[in-house]
Amino acid sequence: MAMEWLLKSVDQNNNTNALFNIGYMFETGLGREQNYSEALEWYEMAAEQGDPEAQFTVGLFYEFGKGVEKDEEQAREWYWKAARCGHADAQKKIELLNKSTQQYYQYNTFNNRIIYSSSVISNNDSCHRSVSPLFMEITLIASVMNDMVRITNKSTALVFLALLFLL
């Protein structure tokens, strides 16, 4: 019964939430036989319409080989799409993947965070959901602080933070 209503919603207005939920039903076997390949197809339809949760989920499927052959590059691409739309877990995944493949460069990560932040703040049209600019500014400051601690030391980062709040 739930599947019928979800399919109607997809047919009538291509609802990304319905697409995602159908994928979830196939992934978990909720009300039907579990089928990762079928789940991935539904998740990809929602992801292609800019749903960041679906983009993140497609990344997970590629990273872990659920219903598809493992493909870290595909996973990384989907995580980037989700991260640009404000998906915090996707940003963490990118960082972890970069560290695990020895491709973690401070300069690139810092620049990617700035690009990611400004794309969300400017209401990136490729994103289905939006994130508040204040949240993105806080995220960017936290990222910079984290990078400063890794590059220099905690006392330098604390001085920077203190100066930031005095301005």
Structure-token pair, residue 8: 């109607």
**CB 79 within 8 Å of CB 56:** yes
86-139 confidence digits (pLDDT tens): 999 999 998 888 776 544 444 344 444 444 443 443 345 556 554 444 444 555
With a CB cutoff of 8 Å and minimum separation 6, the contacts of 156 are 148
Q: What are phi and psi of 49, to 5 degrees?
A: -90, 5
Q: Residue 63 carries which side chain, given as an amino acid letter?
A: E
Global pTM exceeds 0.85: no
Per-residue model confidence (pLDDT) at position 95: 85
End-to-end CA distance of the chain: 58
Mean pLDDT, the chain, whole residue set: 75
